[in-house]
Amino acid sequence: MDGNQAAAPRGPKGEIRGIFKTMVLWMVTFGIYGIWWWFKVAGEINTFLGYERLSVIKLMLLSSVTCGIYGLYFSFVECRKILAEVQAKAGQPEDTPFLCGPMQIQGTLNKVWEKIPD
């Protein structure tokens, strides 16, 4: 992230989603909701930051090609950077989970979105 991106105005906040509801929908739809969720959350993050920071296609393709190794890298490294960038853009202190799974991502984003006035 360069200084211009940090100083740029932020986009609209994303949707606050219940973590339990998200988890249940993910299981009941056998992962279809999960795919929709990834694209929706990536769009919200990218719109909020003002540029494409999270590419779901890249995440899925690289995870498939590397037999999940990129997915692990994303969960431990890239995801934490993305969430920290969202928190910084919102003017909030960095508080990212050690391991970022979908529920941790949504929980962290919910905290950010809740603190931003409408």
Please give the Cα distance from 34 to 23 (Å, whole number): 9
Task: Look at residue 99 and tell me if it is in a domain.
Answer: yes
Task: Look at residue 62 and tell me if it is in a domain.
Answer: yes
Task: Look at residue 91 and tell me if it is in a domain.
Answer: yes
Task: Look at residue 7 and tell me if it is in a domain.
Answer: no
Q: How many domains does the chain have?
A: 1
Question: What pLDDT band is residue 8 in, cutting at 50, 70 and 90?
Answer: low
Task: Look at residue 58 and tell me if it is in a domain.
Answer: yes
Task: Look at residue 48 and tell me if it is in a domain.
Answer: yes
Average pLDDT score over residue span 89-109: 94
pLDDT at 3: 47
Residues with Cβ < 8 Å from 28, sequence gap 6 or more? none
pLDDT reading at 80 higher than 90: yes
Please give the Cα distance from 64 to 46 (Å, whole number): 23
pLDDT at 33: 96
Query: Which class for 37: exposed (0-12), middle (13-18), buried (19 or more C-beta within 10 A)?
Result: buried
Containing structural domain, residue 101: 16-115
pLDDT at 118: 78
- pLDDT digits 0-9 by tens, 35-47: 999 999 999 999 9
Please give the Cα distance from 108 to 115 (Å, whole number): 11
Residue position matching structure tokens 């970022």? 100
Task: Look at residue 2 and tell me if it is in a domain.
Answer: no
